[in-house]
Amino acid sequence: MKETILITGSSRGIGRATALSFFDENLNIVINYIKEKEKAEEVVSILKSRGINSMAVGCDVSDFDQVKDMFKTIEKNFGGVDKLVNNAGIAPFPKLCQEVEDSEWKRVFEVNVGGQFNTCRLAVPYMVSQKRGAIVNLSSVWGQTGGSMESTYGASKGAVIAYSRALARELGPSNIRVNVVAPGCILTDMTAILSKETLDGFAQEVPLMRNGKAEEVAQVINFLLSSKASYMSGQVLGVNGGYYD
């Protein structure tokens, strides 16, 4: 029986690299995107060229009706979801806390926390019914340490950790593992909005003396989904070059 993995926000960046970290023909991989359909289709065609069943499904993870439609499409094509990577996320441009607008705060929480809530509540029933499953939720180093001018984003990513730890306790008896990956500064479109000086400044604070690559996060997510991590749940794994542990 093939396993189905849903990776939200997998048209680009860390989600894309996670999808492309799989080579097992015994998988169905769902590529989710919000805008970049062509990029999502490209990931699908690479996976198909490896013999992996894959399809792209557009949906805004913050909109529960759209997420329900995505799950209906997945059920029709692949039967359900066995493993879930909640990777879709947004990061507003860094700013002082008193300059954050209501709309910005609301949108960041809707996507970064609400998106994970929406997919989890639809994926968990499949996992509970078969008494196995694995979930990896993307947080951030700013959700652990706090980051100056990153209060909105950091608060949302801190909430991800608390939510995931609660789920790990609640779902453990159903043999469902829930873990968190908290990347440091990773060079993707998300960080491309920052100046070279800012990015170099981050790198100088990291013991490994550089920023990370999407593939380096993807390998850790892949590990956490695999049977190699069969006794790991409720963990927050930093992938941050030693910046914070």
Quote the least distance from Cβ 192 to ligand NAP, whole Å.
8
Quote the least distance from Cβ 13 to ligand NAP, whole Å.
2
Site of tokens 């469902």: 176
Nearer to ligand NAP, 113 or 127 (CB): 113
Query: Where does this chain bind ligand NAP (CB under 6 A)?
Result: 8-15, 32-36, 39, 60-62, 87-91, 111, 115, 138, 140, 183, 185-186, 188-191
Q: How far apart are the first and last CA of the chain?
A: 38
Host H or E run for residue 141: helix 141-145
Quote the least distance from Cβ 76 to ligand NAP, whole Å.
20
Host H or E run for residue 169: helix 151-171
Active site (annotated) includes residue 153 = yes
Helices (H), 79-182: 102-109, 115-130, 141-145, 151-171
Quote the least distance from Cβ 86 to ligand NAP, whole Å.
8
Nearer to ligand NAP, 46 or 128 (CB): 46
Residue 33, strand partner residues: 58
Torsions phi, psi of 37, nearest 5? -60, -45
Nearer to ligand NAP, 24 or 189 (CB): 189
Nearer to ligand NAP, 134 or 214 (CB): 214
- Of the candidates 33, 126, 153, 163, the residue annotated as catalytic is 153
Token couple for 72: 């209906």
Cα torsion 80, 76, 5, 116: sign: negative
Task: Catalogue the active-site residues.
Answer: 153
